[in-house]
Amino acid sequence: MAVVNCIGFGGMQVDRAVTQEVLERLEPLGIEAALRAMEARTQRHSDKHQQLENSIKQAQYEATRAHRQYDAVDPNNRLVAGELERHWNETLIQLRDLEIELDTLSTDG
């Protein structure tokens, strides 16, 4: 009967070597992915900031327009004046809320 020699090696050494090799191969990809994620977050933050600035400009326009309409109404027409004043106040509240949101975004980012 012939003697068969087998090559033996421990599984832990192979596992460590394979793990190390995988990590070395994947590390650059992980760094690239993290950088891309950071760039995407920065872009989303910038887009949100721009959207808020545009919304504030629109709200400022609406508030100015509502104020002009209120100023132009005949004071004797109280029903219309009251409605225009209510609308003006609502536009000012919307403007304030947008400015607060922009300030919060600016301090968080």
End-to-end CA distance of the chain: 77
Residue with tokens 């400009």, as numbered in its chain: 57
Tens of pLDDT along the chain (109 residues) come to 566 666 655 567 777 888 888 878 778 877 788 888 889 988 998 999 999 999 999 999 999 999 999 999 998 888 999 999 999 999 999 999 999 999 998 887 6
Q: What is the DSSP-derived secondary structure letter of residue 75? A: T
Which among 50, 60, 52, 55 has a CA at the least distance from the CA of 91? 60
For the chain, give the percent of residues with pLDDT over 90.
52
Would you state the structure tokens that stand for residue 108, as one six-digit string?
């968080």
